[in-house]
Amino acid sequence: MVLLFASPDDDPVAWTRALRRRLPELEIRVYPDLGDPEAIEAALVWSPPPGLLAALPRLRVILSLGAGVDRLLEDPTLPPEVPICRMVDPSLTRSMAEFVLLHVLRYHRFLDVYEEQQRRAQWRLLLPRPPEATVVGIMGLGELGTAAANLLRGHGFSVKGWSRTRKTLEGVKTYAGRDELDAFLADLSILVCLLPLTPETRGILDRGLFARLPEGARLVNLARGGHLVEEDLLEALESGRLAHATLDVFAREPLPADHPFWRHPKITVTPHAAAYSLPESGAEVVAENLRRLRAGRPLLHLVDRARGY
Amino acid sequence: MVLLFASPDDDPVAWTRALRRRLPELEIRVYPDLGDPEAIEAALVWSPPPGLLAALPRLRVILSLGAGVDRLLEDPTLPPEVPICRMVDPSLTRSMAEFVLLHVLRYHRFLDVYEEQQRRAQWRLLLPRPPEATVVGIMGLGELGTAAANLLRGHGFSVKGWSRTRKTLEGVKTYAGRDELDAFLADLSILVCLLPLTPETRGILDRGLFARLPEGARLVNLARGGHLVEEDLLEALESGRLAHATLDVFAREPLPADHPFWRHPKITVTPHAAAYSLPESGAEVVAENLRRLRAGRPLLHLVDRARGY
């Protein structure tokens, strides 16, 4: 079988090595060296150039290197019949949960305030609170949201979760659908967005949502730039409705150098760094799906195109 | 019994309330309202003015509000026969371990690098590593160091520990004494100082120690300002031996507004904010020692003045 690897952010050498170890007979081609497109049956991709996948006439499966497939689905030339699999991989899940814990701890222990004070050489202690006093709300309770919620709960934080359909999670107060969104938001210290980007969730982090958070809440968006209405965030930071925001994802990536987020004193910008599939563990997931494809067995982590994830 | 409360940083109202709930008969006086000094048998203090304790002729115990008692012991007028007890309290231990985890995660996930990049509007991803790849060394394996090491280990980091006398800690590689210091330092990604400040440990974070760390290591000092030789830190940051430092404690606190640490791009300053005894849990420890004093039973967490902690 021939697999095409195409990603601007992942290391083709490490992925090739990790895949070969599991599937020695697999032929791996690295974009842009396609060779004969007719031979390619599988594509392992992150942000492939629009039209690339449509140019592979015998493609049988699209394997995403990322957990979210919104950018794939936005490509109007995407072959409509080819199944798409999300990346669900323990290293990716672990690195996301870890990044959530880091940013929750950072706000819980007032590092954003201390950084601001440092700029003014101001020494002022804010008494630490116990973690139970910090209420963290996770939007999105899939693979990643569930792992993050469990890690936070283990650390002692008060955790709430919101999702499209009802989920049950031990020790986490869960809310479902637009009807319960207000109750979910009402007492959050920190809101963490881990939603898939779909037509339903696009622009969900907007003025109306911010108005339902307590004054001085913090926002952490690790999902997609499309979830956030940028002007509404700037307004909420200006008014004090939100005290600070950490953004890892943006409508345009890389974030343009002249974008106001870079220089905003109440915004921390990270370069889409929250979660990442390490080749050593991600290759196992990919290899398993290729084995299944070859054997005609059902694929894992199939995307429902209508739902968007 | 009459107790004197004296601290510039702790809330006398909350402490009085929490102590009264446990010892309704206790009379609590809050500095500077001493009343008759002859009546005072116990003192609960943090950074009391030098000479204050010497002015209490019937003092039977000094209870520290902090885990470290170095500042108490520096007072040459300290009554030599009165026993001193350190604060050992679950809320203090928990908040210290939490602060260590926060700063280790922050370096592990390159937030210091991303903050620097944000100042230059630079988008550059550094691939996350698994936590096992980050080697954290804890100096000091007492109550606080042990709790921090266990929390880090639970999160998956590779943890090493160094102390004056040999300690054994499951899953932690431990080293003891000056002879084993080089081996302890040789491969650390992050060095965390949680040592007590004694004549032996004063100035231990110096040029000689930094030279034994790997190039680009990170330093987190949450113990005492006296552990650090300030000029040597500036030199190590300048040369790249150390990539970044987080300092919570300083030779002079509050850190003077004109101190170069405030404006150094590779130093994070926090205002002695790492660990704090919450009155609700700290009062339990204090009350237990007062009960023991009254009953003539051995006190808990007694300081060995010769050792310094």
The pLDDT-based confidence of A9 (bands split at 50, 70, 90) is confident
Give the CATH H-level superfamily of domain A90-269. NAD(P)-binding Rossmann-like Domain (3.40.50.720)
Give φ, ψ of B103 to 5 degrees: -75, -30
Of B122, B262, B276, the CB nearest to A118: B262
pLDDT of residue A260: 98
The pLDDT-based confidence of B94 (bands split at 50, 70, 90) is very high
Which chain B residue lies closest to A9 (C-alpha atoms)?
A: B125
Euclidean distance between CA atoms B124 and B108, whole angstroms: 16
Beta-sheet pairing, B61-64 with B84-85: parallel
Which of these, B211, B222, B208, B254, lies nearest to B98 by C-alpha position?
A: B222
What number is the average pLDDT over the span B176-204? Answer: 97
DSSP secondary structure letters along A219-261 = EEE-S-GGGB-HHHHHHHHHHTSEEEEEES--SSSSPPTT-HH
Which of these, A265, A235, A269, A245, lies nearest to A255 by C-alpha position?
A: A269
Q: What is the pLDDT of residues B80-91, one digit of tens each?
A: 999 999 999 999
What is the ipTM, given to two decimal places?
0.94
Chain A closest-CA separation from residue B75 CA (Å): 25
| CB atoms near residue A297 (< 10 Å) | 11
Chain B residues within an 8 Å CB radius of A272: 125
pLDDT over 90 percentage in chain A? 98
Q: Indicate the SS3 state at residue A211.
A: helix
What mean pLDDT value characterizes chain B?
A: 97
What number is the average pLDDT over the span B163-191? Answer: 97
Rg for chain A, CA atoms, rounded: 21
pLDDT over 70 percentage in chain A? 100
Q: Is the pLDDT of residue B276 over 90?
A: no
| Identity of the residue numbered A98 | E
pLDDT of residue A201: 97
Domain with CATH 3.40.50.720 in chain B: 2-89+277-295, 90-269
Q: Indicate the SS3 state at residue B305.
A: coil
Cis? peptide before B265, omega within 30° of 0: no
Q: Which two tokens stand for residue B251?
A: 């030779």
pLDDT of residue A225: 98
| CB atoms near residue A276 (< 10 Å) | 23
pTM: 0.95
pLDDT of residue A127: 87
Catalytic residue among A224, A227, A241, A301: A224
The reply to whether residue A270 touches residue B111, judged by beta carbons under 8 angstroms, is yes
What mean pLDDT value characterizes chain A?
A: 97
pLDDT of residue A204: 98
Interface A–B counts its CB contacts (< 8 A) at: 110
The reply to whether residue B271 touches residue A110, judged by beta carbons under 8 angstroms, is no
Q: Indicate the SS3 state at residue A105.
A: helix
Euclidean distance between CA atoms A106 and A116, whole angstroms: 13
Of A114, A130, A263, the CB nearest to B270: A114
Chain B closest-CA separation from residue A96 CA (Å): 10
The reply to whether residue A111 touches residue B123, judged by beta carbons under 8 angstroms, is no
Give φ, ψ of A57 to 5 degrees: -65, -25
pLDDT of residue B75: 93
Of A111, A117, A278, the CB nearest to B130: A278
Euclidean distance between CA atoms B34 and B13, whole angstroms: 16
Q: Which two tokens stand for residue B65?
A: 């509000």
Q: Does domain A2-89+277-295 have CATH number 1.10.357.10?
A: no
Q: What is the pLDDT of residues B122-168, one digit of tens each?
A: 999 998 899 999 999 999 999 999 999 999 999 999 999 999 999 99
Q: What is the pLDDT of residues A113-152, one digit of tens each?
A: 999 999 999 999 998 899 999 999 999 999 999 999 999 9
Which chain A residue lies closest to B123 (C-alpha atoms)?
A: A271
pLDDT of residue B9: 87
pLDDT of residue A286: 97
pLDDT of residue A262: 98
Of A101, A115, A130, the CB nearest to B91: A130
What number is the average pLDDT over the span B59-74? Answer: 95
Mutate to test the interface with A, among B118, B252, B263, B280 (most CBs of A within 10 A): B118
Chain A residues within an 8 Å CB radius of B269: 114, 118
Q: What is the pLDDT of residues B3-54, one digit of tens each?
A: 999 999 899 999 999 999 999 999 999 999 999 999 999 999 999 999 999 9
Do residues B286 and B61 touch, judged by C-beta distance below 8 A? no
Q: Which two tokens stand for residue B188?
A: 């650390």
Is residue A224 annotated as a catalytic residue, yes or no? yes
pLDDT of residue A43: 98
Euclidean distance between CA atoms B309 and B306, whole angstroms: 8
Chain A residue set in contact with B, beta carbons under 8 Å: 9, 11, 91, 94-95, 98-99, 101-102, 105-106, 109-111, 114-115, 117-118, 121, 123-128, 130-131, 155, 253-255, 257-259, 262-263, 268-273, 275-276, 278
Euclidean distance between CA atoms A135 and B7, whole angstroms: 30
Chain A residues within an 8 Å CB radius of B276: 127-128
The reply to whether residue A273 touches residue B125, judged by beta carbons under 8 angstroms, is yes
